[in-house]
């Protein structure tokens, strides 16, 4: 058994799925009634005037996802949390008025089905060559459908994501050909964008803040966007996300964790 981080238990999780939203529920209030949507999320678009961004979110097969989190929560709960993080990230992104489309690059059938039900387009990870290849493939697929829209890569492990904070990051990114946002630790990256006509050129993994800067992307320097920076890889990261306030899918798993004092 793996060592346990303080404040988090490894209580076995009794599967209790958060009710999935039907495709388009996140955007129903701001799109015309005649806008078409397929039940698999194939036409998951926000047609509001302000909606101008395509987002690409990568997700490993759940059996492999969030491996570093196992030390804190155990291997039974780890894949459930990985799915919950992705559900909360996609749901919040689809509620952002600036976001027109969300594509999730994944080969996981359970995650694909649940994320499609939220309204995401599911793109198979056909390159099968790691994170950056998956993001480049997802960006290509989105641009083949929406060539006039800027595209952005967003982490799948942002369970505290706030639509308004994501909107501020997108607005700042629009001023640069390519732009990125560093993670809460100041080492990695949670967001990378490119305007039409520019390659996304992702270099995620490890010290990607320095790598994206070296690639010529502009760093977005904004206060008050903690939810867009707060990715979750470790028990400490999870406690920090919980302190910000997480979405409903992650909240549904709180009973499987020891309560975090003061939250």
pLDDT tens for the chain, 263 residues: list them.
Answer: 334 443 444 333 333 333 333 333 333 333 333 333 333 444 445 555 466 999 999 999 999 999 999 999 999 999 999 999 999 999 999 999 999 999 999 999 999 999 999 999 999 999 999 999 999 999 999 999 999 999 999 999 999 999 999 999 999 999 999 999 999 999 999 999 999 999 999 999 999 999 999 999 999 999 999 999 999 999 999 999 999 999 999 999 988 876 433 33
Q: How many helices (H) and strands (E) does the chain have?
A: 9, 7
The tokens of 114 are what? Answer: 């649940």
Task: List all residues 6 or more positions away from 230 whose beta carbon is below 8 Å from its beta carbon.
Answer: 158, 160, 183, 184, 237, 240, 241, 244
At 16 the three-state DSSP class reads: coil
Whose structure tokens read 């502009």? 218
pTM: 0.82
The tokens of 22 are what? Answer: 């039907």
| 243 CB-contact burial (10 Å; exposed 0-12 / middle 13-18 / buried 19+) | middle
């Amino acid at each position: 058994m793996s060592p346990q981080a303080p404040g988090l238990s490894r209580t076995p999780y009794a599967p209790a799925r958060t009710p999935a939203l039907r495709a388009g529920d996140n955007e129903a209030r701001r799109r015309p009634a005649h806008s078409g949507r397929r039940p698999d999320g194939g036409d998951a678009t926000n047609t509001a005037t302000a909606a101008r961004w395509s987002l690409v979110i990568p997700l490993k097969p759940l059996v492999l996802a969030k491996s570093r989190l196992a030390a804190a929560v155990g291997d039974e709960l780890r894949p459930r949390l990985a799915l919950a993080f992705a559900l909360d990230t996609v749901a919040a992104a689809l509620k952002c008025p600036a976001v027109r489309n969300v594509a999730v690059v994944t080969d996981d059938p359970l995650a694909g089905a649940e994320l499609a039900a939220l309204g995401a387009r599911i793109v198979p990870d056909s390159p099968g060559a790691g994170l950056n290849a998956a993001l480049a493939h997802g960006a290509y697929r989105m641009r083949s459908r929406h060539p006039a829209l800027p595209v952005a890569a967003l982490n799948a492990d942002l369970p505290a994501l706030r639509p308004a904070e994501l909107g501020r990051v997108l607005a700042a990114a629009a001023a640069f050909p390519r732009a990125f946002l560093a993670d809460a630790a100041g080492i990695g990256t949670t967001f990378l964008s490119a305007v039409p006509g520019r390659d996304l050129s992702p270099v995620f993994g490890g010290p990607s803040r320095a790598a994206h800067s070296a690639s010529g992307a502009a760093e977005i320097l904004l206060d008050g966007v903690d939810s867009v920076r707060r990715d979750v890889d470790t028990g400490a990261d999870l406690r920090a996300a919980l302190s910000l306030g997480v979405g409903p899918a992650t909240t549904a798993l709180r009973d499987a964790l020891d309560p975090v004092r003061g939250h």
